[in-house]
Amino acid sequence: MNEKQRLLKELPSVDEILKIPDGVRWCESYPRRYVLKAIREVIDNRRKEIIELSSTDITIEGMTNNIETRIQKLSSYSLQPLINATGVVIHTNLGRSILSERVLDNVRKVSENYSNLEYDLEKGARGKRYVHITELLREITGAEDSLIVNNNAAAVLLCLNTVAKGREVIVSRGELVEIGGSFRVPDVMAASGAILKEIGTTNKTHLYDYERAINENTALILKVHKANYRITGFTEDVPVTDLKKLSEKHRIPLMYDLGSGCMIDLKPYGIHSEPAVQEIVKAGVDIITFSGDKLLGGPQGGIIIGEKEYINKIQKNPMTRAVRIDKLTLAAFEATLMEYLDEEKAIENIPTLKMLLQSPKQIKERAKKIASQMKRQIKNAKIEVAPDESKAGGGSLPEVAFPTYVVSIKPEGVSVNDLEERLRKGIPPIIARIKDNAFFIDARTVRNHEITSLVKGIRTALY
């Protein structure tokens, strides 16, 4: 028997490894099927190494670290938290808006107990889940009534199906937007059963275009906010106030899809392109839809507000049940909306707003803190603090560049691309951006409690 055959014959079995103290501990701490799978994979890999003459270690002790690492990887959740160092606040790929501790506390309380989700405590009878947010939205926005479904695309689909199924909806060609995942307004409209009536041109639409398009089969005038792009130059569109007058004249309801759905006035912050929800309500729009997890800063959802007459009809649509939100989303929405009763508190307590509206000075101080810790622990990289620009993300405020500060890392002995891959695959994953052949950590989206883990992850990736 040659040496290779001897090593293969003496490889430990799965049962032998299960009987050692580590094996017993693994079976107590992790799913048994993953323990068995990990052991078999490590033994198989060691067998291949022996055949290829790249290893002669057949001891159990030499395998335990590999086995434990593999078990942990198999047992870890696929959906996991990470550090967003991109500077993109409402990052679609990274889960959009994050929720505050106060919101999470309310979700926790509701989820670990029974609740009055659909029970009227005053009457002692069955109630409606939407009452928990109706009064709040009425107080904050001034709208008569409201409804929340699982996202804004569903909100638009539901409204069009209720109000305009089989009839025409007038939309400007310049507002036939495409949102994330290649979902387009014309496609959503077709799915709703409504008939698209395009008017105007890509860059110019006039009031008379709407007027001429109205006929006996017109069910709705739809305005779509260009939340994720801008057309500049030789352009013209019709203000919502003029469309409201036209809709009243012809007794046709007016709907406005706001997309991002901002609940505060951003003009004091130099942002004039994003209308506040309250402005649109004051303009008299009959139906308004917007997202909950973008500029509003809450969980994913599609909010519908407007005239009670139309909200009642929408609530009675059988499709409403198919796109309704669950109790956890409702609990998160209620806690998020409570913050908007005081705008200053909303800006301070809602993470999305706080990140977007923090001053460059605050960001610079955080960047300097990150860089200082890195320089103390990392010697094989050039580390500097530099000014740069952030984006809101999530299809919101596309034309706004937010001044920020980044920590620029130029590694030695490893390429920037290799560093990016190591950090992306680390624990926790760290997602940032590469620019000018450097790795940029944007301090805007790095929270104070993440700095220690961030620095540790980068140090580990560089050594």
**What is the pLDDT confidence band of residue 358, given thresholds at 50, 70 and 90?**
very high
Topology annotation, domain 3-75: Aspartate Aminotransferase, domain 1 (3.90.1150)
Rounded to the nearest 10 degrees, how much is the dihedral formed by the CA atoms of 371, 373, 375, 376? 170
For residue 259, the cross-strand partners are 290
49-58: per-residue pLDDT in tens? 888 877 778 8
* Tokens 């050594």 belong to residue: 463
Domain boundaries, given as residue ranges, for the chain:
3-75, 83-92+356-462, 101-344
Calculate Rg over the CA atoms of the chain.
Answer: 28
Choose from 172-181, 263-272, 295-304 the range with maximum mean pLDDT.
Answer: 295-304
Contacts of 90 (CB under 8 A, 6+ apart): 96, 97, 293, 294, 295, 352, 392, 393, 394, 396
Distance of CA 119 to the CA centre of its chain: 31
Domains 83-92+356-462 and 101-344 share a fold: no
411 — phi, psi (to 5°)?
-75, 155
- pLDDT of amino acid 28: 95
The CATH class of the 101-344 domain is alpha beta
Tell me, which fold does domain 83-92+356-462 have in CATH?
Aspartate Aminotransferase, domain 1 (3.90.1150)
Burial of 100 (0-12, 13-18, 19+ CB in 10 A): buried
Q: What is the pLDDT of residue 219?
A: 97
* Mean pLDDT to the nearest integer, 176-197: 83
Enter the pTM of the model: 0.88
pLDDT digits (tens, 9 = 90+) for 200-241: 988 899 999 999 999 999 999 999 987 666 677 777 889 999
**How would residue 81 be classed by pLDDT, with cut points 50, 70 and 90?**
very high
Q: Using one digit for the tens of pLDDT, what is the confidence trace for 264-285?
A: 999 888 887 889 999 999 999 9
